[in-house]
Amino acid sequence: MHIVIPLLILLIGLVIWFRKHTKGPGGVRTGDLPKAAAKLGFLPADRLDTDHVRAPDPRVTAVREAVRAGNWQAGADWLAEAGRDWQERDRRADVLASEAVQDDSWLLAWRTARPEDPGAALVHAESLIDLAWEIRGGGYAQYTTGEQFAGFHRVLEQAAEACAHAQSLAGDDPCPFIAELPLAMGQGYPHDRFEKLWAQIVERDPHHLAAHSAALQYWCAKWCGSHELAEAFARSAAEKGQPGRLLTMLPLRAYFEYEIAHDDLNRDEFYKRPEVVEAVDAALVDVAAAAAANPDDRRLPQVRHLLASLLFWQDRHEAAVEQFRLVDGYINAVPWSYRGSREGMIKAYTGERDYSAAQVLKSRGGI
């Protein structure tokens, strides 16, 4: 009897261990999760691209190679081709600015040849802001050295002058004003000064998604606002947008920013709150409208990634799988990009994707 009882306790312990380590939440075996994803046609973890949010654009690759070779005219022409599509002009200027951070000799040649070219002035301003943030690094303030901060603020001062010059040439182009938004965060603009800058932007383009996303960061508690101000800004912007504008992403991002700022928050409960579910529903309608208008809308993947994650947390696995299916392969987007390393991004993404896939198959009797 004295031997049987310890053996029984050991057996019970082994059963509990086996159940805990071989099954995930919902009764699906952990080892079955990648298999479920494969059955639904998802890519294996080792084929996921953590550098892009969508398939690379061949034209972007060609322009990057051209300016690296010193052909500033190719960059100038490509930027000019965006015309008055301010979202596209902003995107292209960002591409050129990132190249100038690595080597600005071609940009200097452009500015020398055309000193009053609004495009050259815009790219110059953005490149200085990008350089400043590269010097600072992406960590929180407590992990940033005094030397990094000194370099950051020194370059931001130069960027402020460059922004002012670009804005003087802008006319009704909002992009040089949008370029100033990271400067506003870095220099800690007071709210009234930020509001004046924001007024210049919305007067020129009231529905610019990238501008709204950057402004939301300013209003977050980690920069110059609070969680309440960020959510209020996000809700107000979403209410003003029409289906297809994708401004409904802003409340989702505000909720995500709140969640990552609170280590003790229970995500399983937080993302199921009625107001969050309602915001997800509104974003689903918005995404459907944008996709119907233009299936190749470059803004869609970033919204779909965030939607897929929130749908996962809301146990809406069929809807989550639908979003994952439309973005699978390229995962350099929020929320995965907040994981830092490539391995962390892949683990977070596949964890939610594969679990959702397994729940869908289970509901269909396929697992």
Give the pair of three-digit tokens for residue 317. Answer: 């696995």
Whether 282 shows a pLDDT value over 80: the answer reads yes
Q: How many Å apart are CA 65 and CA 214, to the nearest integer?
A: 28
The mean predicted confidence, pLDDT, of the chain is 91
In the prediction, which pLDDT does 29 show? 64
* Distance from C-alpha of 306 to C-alpha of 316, rounded to nearest angstrom: 14
Distance (Å, whole) CA 93 – CA 73: 14
CA 124 to chain centre: 24
Cβ atoms of residues 249 and 303 within 8 Å: yes
Q: Rounded to 10 degrees, what is the CA torsion of 148, 151, 154, 156? A: -70
What average pLDDT does this structure show over 74-88? 98
Give the per-residue pLDDT at 28: 59
The CB-side HSE value for 235 (13 A sphere, CA atoms) comes to 11
* pLDDT at residue 146 in the model: 73
Give 130's contacts (C-beta < 8 A, 6+ positions apart): 97, 98, 100, 101
Instruction: Give per-residue pLDDT as tens, 206-237.
Output: 999 999 999 999 999 999 999 999 999 999 99
The residue count for the chain: 367
How far is the C-alpha of 209 from the C-alpha of 231, rounded, in Å?
16
Q: How many CB atoms lie within 10 A of CB 292?
A: 11
Residues 340, 123, 113, CA angle at the centre, nearest 5°? 145
With cut-offs at 50, 70 and 90, classify the pLDDT of residue 140: low
Rounded Cα–Cα distance for residues 128 and 156 (Å): 7
Residue 98 burial (CB < 10 Å; 0-12/13-18/19+)? middle
Q: What is the mean pLDDT of residues 99-111?
A: 97
- What was the pLDDT predicted at 8? 43
pLDDT confidence of residue 354: 98
Residue 139's pLDDT band (cuts 50, 70, 90): low
Give the pLDDT mean for 288-311. Answer: 97
- Output DSSP code: residue 27: G
Task: List, in order, residues 6 or more apart from 5 with CB less than 8 Å away.
Answer: none
Of the pLDDT bands very low, low, confident and very high (cuts 50, 70, 90), residue 18 is very low
Retrieve residue 158's tokens: 């130069």
32: confidence class by pLDDT, cuts 50, 70, 90: confident
Compute the distance between CA of residue 38 and CA of residue 5 in angstroms, rounded to an integer: 44
pLDDT tens sequence across 144-183: 677 777 888 899 999 999 999 999 999 999 999 999 999 9
Pair 54, 330: CB distance under 8 Å: yes
Residue 161 corresponds to which amino acid? E
Joined tokens for residue 74: 């190719």
Question: Where does the pLDDT of residue 143 fall: very low under 50, low under 70, confident under 90, or very high at 90 and above?
Answer: low
Mean pLDDT of the region 10-20: 38
From the list 147, 144, 182, 148, the residue with the least C-alpha distance to 162 is 182
CA distance 347 to 335: 12
Q: What is the reported pLDDT for 138? A: 65
User: Taking 60 as the threshold, does the pLDDT of residue 19 lie above it?
Assistant: no
- Does residue 7 register a pLDDT over 90? no
Residue 340: its pLDDT value, please? 81
- For residue 31, which phi and psi values (nearest 5 degrees)? -65, -20
